[in-house]
Amino acid sequence: MGVGEDVPSLLALAREYIRTKYNKPGNVYLGVVSRLDAPVTGATLLARTSKAAARLSEQFRERDVTKIYWALVEGRVGAPSAALVDWVRKDERHRRMHIAQPGAPGAQEARLSFRTLQNFSDATLLEVQLETGRKHQIRVQLAEHGCPVLGDRKYGGVRRFASGIALHARRLAFAHPTRDETIEIEAPLPDAWRPWAT
């Protein structure tokens, strides 16, 4: 799923914002520290200097960043909370990830935990905390455990969601790259979530 050519990218919009806010002529440096899958909404992280980008990237590599997502999944999840540990591997032929046996060639450990925020008649709102950051990790693990993300046909979702898939990067918390303080970012929910998140 890509963005149309006439729609500016997040990076282009952020560069223009920095250029205007700080009256910067010419090219503006922005380092992409964290990314989201194309159909996922929410918080991502960009750095204004290469030094900040390197320090923030190190925090992600060392798993020192708190990453909280909200996922609206099909069906009712009975457990108030759970931890999932699986092994995931890329399936190049089908351009997706899948669950693999531990130790299988190319397999990586994937860990997350979740808690149930609200049960609906045929869906559940989960708050998911990623411990590892594998490609499509939340999507493939939740689907494997019987609760695919709404709208996520790639990983077994049957029901549609108003806009893309019902996965939102809700919060990031990390150490400021140059000051001794913790930064917390919370991304507001898109309009498509309003019927579900009260």
In a domain, 151, yes or no: yes
CA neighbor of 192 nearest in space, from 88, 45, 38, 40: 40
In a domain, 4, yes or no: no
Residue 7 confidence (pLDDT): 64
In a domain, 85, yes or no: yes
For residue 1, is pLDDT > 60? no
**Radius of gyration over every alpha carbon of the chain, rounded to an integer in angstroms:** 18
* Domain boundaries, position 132: 10-193
- Residue 188 confidence class, pLDDT cut points 50, 70, 90: very high
In a domain, 156, yes or no: yes
In a domain, 155, yes or no: yes
Residue 37 confidence (pLDDT): 84
Where residue 97 sits, what CATH number does that domain have? 3.30.2350.10
The answer to whether the Cα torsion of 91, 95, 99, 103 is positive or negative is positive
- Residue 2 confidence class, pLDDT cut points 50, 70, 90: very low
Give the model confidence (pLDDT) of 116-155 as tens digits: 999 999 999 999 999 998 999 999 999 999 999 999 999 9
37 is catalytic: yes
Number of domains the chain is built from:
1
In a domain, 21, yes or no: yes
Mean of pLDDT over the chain: 92
Give the model confidence (pLDDT) of 36-79 as tens digits: 888 899 999 999 999 999 999 999 999 999 999 999 999 999 89
Whole-model pTM: value is: 0.90
In a domain, 166, yes or no: yes
Question: Please, what is the Cα angle at 122 between 117 and 128, to 5 degrees?
Answer: 30
In a domain, 2, yes or no: no
Q: How far is CA 151 from the centre of its chain?
A: 15
Give the model confidence (pLDDT) of 69-123 as tens digits: 999 999 999 899 999 999 999 988 888 999 999 999 999 999 999 999 999 999 9
Among the options 37, 86, 152, 180, which is catalytic?
37
